[in-house]
Structure 1
């Protein structure tokens, strides 16, 4: 297979034979789970790294003719896809490990049953620490006059060179991954302990998590694979509802419902809320829309960061009533809707326009 070279996304017009990972550009061969991106027959997967691994295993002909690889942003799934194309033999040697890392990085899903599960977590924690410590945290580059497309290039330069050594000897880098790893393991124990509970509402693909305090995302969402949404119920009537990133991309193995606008639901809750804060929600085009009681609006970086790092305010609505309102909202919205892995943005806009022509689903 031809040796590959990573190139900046903005330079793609200067090259012929480019593999575009975890993003989209009409000039290259796309290996991406982005909604609406071209799909490779029989090779599509839930993560972009999974698509790359499938292409490597199938010995896709274009892998022998395309010498360049690019991505327009840095995240764990996209990086692993790029790295796998540059180091295909190592990638296939560690195939299941890379798949687990990609699921953890993009969807925050994981398990901690095996030694390989723990290794995947350690490596993801190393990437997280190295990214925020040496460069900037995810979405921090979305400040005015800054561009992720440009700023991610030094990240790729560093991680493409460094990751192989960490993969071969992770204990040598313990100081960088240990703190976050131990926190996730501790929070995972809380999630599986007697003070926490998980309820999967299969009819609307909603995972209801009841736990005393906000946790690390990997623990909170770890067991959420059958769901498109997570409703977190904390002590003291503190709540958040979040659409998972799985509902932003085109998955292969998990048919789901279309995203519903959360802002009409926020309006229904505000009609019941007697506390000092108001319910607000991000748009459905956001990678992970959150419905929450709003104080000072959170930045994209703050919303992407873990729940325990942001303020979550107490509501006057009892938890049972809150859960009932949320369930009824989605049960009515999803009535007669199919589950499928591919929903176009046009389909989502049309559905939400039809549902919310009167601004809310009537109770």
Structure 2
């Protein structure tokens, strides 16, 4: 395989025929390695994460990869970065494939199995990436607030992280000062998830996990036990609630079937008919990467919605937690009753399923 170079996305548009694109779509690219819905990723390389697709391509390099000169991505996040880095450092990537897969999954889906012996190492790497990104550049989805285009501004992040990641991969202590604060916060939250005050109920027939816990927790702790389901209803003390479609239903999962996201207008209407707090319920559209259903209050930016639940206001509802759970569960039981889970929903099919609900 030829040695690749990273090329910023804006420049890659002019060299698409010899460029591998990761976690993005670039027309006429030599090879696409992305889990985005409808991305032209070859079947042999489809994976739950885009980094996983890159690792599959390294295991059995196709002619397009061997002939390529450049690799690019149109944004910076943990999954996309790991995929780009792996293609630039194939030998190290193959040696640490399992760890890199854990890092990508934790970064994108906020899921990890804490019993995995490499889980703690993966958390340290993700926390290092997060901390350095925010300290040196800007938070995820923060480019528009700075009047910048993500596909252009993110090139600066790649330029800084690509030559430094291997050192922390091989010796996490090298980045300890950066990763320690978030790491300690997440580990404390993971412990809180194990205490009697936290209870989980899974509804596998609709792909929902209900988490009842006293206070909002970091996603890396909150979503770990929800792996295998695609919706989370969080019930916090003080009758504070959030419902979220996980990112697992925005992408094409290879490992298991999923259900299409449904518009939540009818559920919002049912909640507002019961709500007596003076606040109104609202929900993001199904094409958002992680749509939230919550008491609206002040409108949140995309960066705030992506941030951990404890970093945004969550308002008290007049609806009791048992009634909230019943309303959400009954809505999905009714509307998923005749929709079988499967792989590879197109956005057109998702919208068609939603139209049936709205009608």
Superposition TM-score, scaled by structure 2 size: 0.97
Q: Which residue of 2 aligns with 1:128?
A: 130
Instruction: Report if aligned partners of 1:211, 1:233 keep a CA contact under 8 Å in 2.
Output: yes
Rounded to whole Å, the distance in 1 between the matches of 2:64 and 2:174 is: 37
Aligned ranges 1:165-244 → 2 under 5 Å? 165-244=167-246
Which deviates more from structure 2 when the two are superposed, residues 150-159 or residues 257-266? 257-266
Count of aligned positions: 357
SS in 2 for 1:264: helix
Residues 111-168 of structure 1: per-residue CA shift (max 9 Å, x gap): 2224411000000000000000000000111227321011100000001011111112
Instruction: Report if aligned partners of 2:78, 2:104 keep a CA contact under 8 Å in 1.
Output: yes
Q: Which residue of 2 aligns with 1:90?
A: 92
SS in 2 for 1:261: coil
Instruction: Report if aligned partners of 1:232, 1:239 keep a CA contact under 8 Å in 2.
Output: yes
Which deviates more from structure 2 when the two are superposed, residues 301-310 or residues 33-42? 33-42
Q: Which residue of 1 aligns with 2:6?
A: 6
SS in 1 for 2:147: coil
Residues 4-37 of structure 1: per-residue CA shift (max 9 Å, x gap): 0111112223223110100111211110000111
State yes or no: 1:27 paired with 2:28: yes
> Per-residue deviation at 1:43?
2.1
SS in 1 for 2:163: helix
Which deviates more from structure 2 when the two are superposed, residues 78-87 or residues 157-166? 157-166
Q: Which residue of 2 aligns with 1:361?
A: none
Rounded to whole Å, the distance in 2 between the matches of 1:13 and 1:299 is: 29
SS in 2 for 1:330: helix
Structure 1 stretches lacking a partner, 5+ long: 358-363
Rounded to whole Å, the distance in 2 between the matches of 1:13 and 1:49 is: 21
Q: Which residue of 2 aligns with 1:294?
A: 296
Rounded to whole Å, the distance in 2 between the matches of 1:132 and 1:112 is: 25
Q: Which residue of 1 aligns with 2:39?
A: 37
Q: What stretches of structure 1 move > 6 A for 4+ residues in a row?
A: none
Instruction: Report if aligned partners of 1:263, 1:283 keep a CA contact under 8 Å in 2.
Output: no
Residues 212-248 of structure 1: per-residue CA shift (max 9 Å, x gap): 0000110001122111101001111111000000100
Q: Which residue of 2 aligns with 1:273?
A: 275
Rounded to whole Å, the distance in 1 between the matches of 2:343 and 2:106 is: 19
Which deviates more from structure 2 when the two are superposed, residues 142-151 or residues 42-51? 142-151
Rounded to whole Å, the distance in 2 between the matches of 1:55 and 1:126 is: 26
Instruction: Report if aligned partners of 1:126, 1:177 keep a CA contact under 8 Å in 2.
Output: yes
Instruction: Report if aligned partners of 1:209, 1:231 keep a CA contact under 8 Å in 2.
Output: yes
SS in 2 for 1:291: strand
SS in 2 for 1:62: helix
Instruction: Report if aligned partners of 2:239, 2:321 keep a CA contact under 8 Å in 1.
Output: yes
Rounded to whole Å, the distance in 2 between the matches of 1:44 and 1:8 is: 24
Rounded to whole Å, the distance in 2 between the matches of 1:74 and 1:114 is: 26
SS in 2 for 1:89: helix
Rounded to whole Å, the distance in 1 between the matches of 2:293 and 2:170 is: 41
Which deviates more from structure 2 when the two are superposed, residues 342-351 or residues 44-53? 342-351
Instruction: Report if aligned partners of 2:167, 2:174 keep a CA contact under 8 Å in 1.
Output: no
Q: CA RMSD in A?
A: 1.1
Instruction: Report if aligned partners of 1:224, 1:230 keep a CA contact under 8 Å in 2.
Output: yes
Rounded to whole Å, the distance in 2 between the matches of 1:263 and 1:225 is: 26
Instruction: Report if aligned partners of 1:263, 1:282 keep a CA contact under 8 Å in 2.
Output: no
SS in 2 for 1:242: strand
